[in-house]
Amino acid sequence: MSQLNRYYDPRFGLDAVKLLPGECFVTDEELMIVTVLGSCVSVCLRDRSLGLGGMNHFMLPGDTGANSLLTSSGRYGVHAMDLLINGLMRRGAQRRNFEAKVFGGGSVLQNLSAEVGQRNVEFVLDYLSAEGIPVLAQDLLDVHPRKVYYFPGSGRVLVRKLRALANDTLLQRERQYRQQLSRQARGGTIDLF
């Protein structure tokens, strides 16, 4: 995981943390977590009794086959969810108080199958259901990227659909992240956590 980009957002008058693909952040600070999603998915997860929350940003690359939870593609989503849940629990969160909001899974990359976003969405909704974590809100699929602003203390989320991109940074990031995950899968790395 890279060094997180922390900055002051004058529009909201708050410190903010910007998540890129593959990153996860958990906090009890009064700040906002921001990300831009294409086919990737982000889960905003919080313990409603503590006001403690976090967000992840992940992509499930490649072919997931019949059972996505057991393939190399599925492990990235599972790993991202484990990082988020364990990060909250290390700070005192209780699973029984979890609530989730889920965003992303758009079909925004022309050279990738439209199924990438769909597989991401199916994975995360199945995962949250299996874990018994209620999904209070979602904005999934579609063809537009989204900018997500998450306020973990209150659980508030603002989503802005990006109907036109000023540049192709989002698309480049998703392509680079997908290539990175593909290289790691071919290299046979082992994740210990």
Q: Tell me, what DSSP letter sits at residue 24?
A: E
Nearest to 81 by CA among 67, 96, 60: 60
Q: Count Cβ atoms below 10 Å from residue 140 Cβ, excluding itself.
A: 20
- Each of the 193 residues of the chain gets a pLDDT tens digit; together they read 446 899 999 999 999 999 998 899 999 999 999 999 988 999 999 999 998 999 999 986 433 444 444 343 334 788 899 999 999 999 999 999 999 999 999 887 665 556 788 888 999 999 999 999 999 999 999 888 999 999 999 999 999 998 766 556 555 655 555 555 555 444 444 333 3
pLDDT at 191: 38
- Give me the pLDDT at residue 83, please: 93
Strand pairing of 24-27 and 52-56? antiparallel
Q: Which fold would CATH assign to domain 5-187?
A: 60s Ribosomal Protein L30; Chain: A; (3.30.1330)
Q: Under 8 Å CB-to-CB from 68, ≥6 apart: which residues?
A: 60, 74, 77, 119, 122, 123
Q: Is 152 helix (H, G, I), strand (E, B) or coil?
A: coil
Task: State the pLDDT at residue 24.
Answer: 94
Question: In this predicted structure, what is the pLDDT of residue 143?
Answer: 85
Residue 37: closest CA among 114, 117, 101: 117
Backbone angles phi, psi at 6, to 5 degrees: -110, 135
The pLDDT of residue 192 is 35
Name the helix (H) or strand (E) containing 50. Answer: none
User: 108, 134, 104, 127: which is closest to 37 by C-alpha?
Assistant: 104
> What is the distance between the alpha carbons of residues 49 and 155, in angstroms, rounded to a whole number?
11
> d(Cα 51, Cα 57) in Å, to the nearest integer?
20
Q: Please, what is the Cα angle at 193 between 130 and 41, to 5 degrees?
A: 50
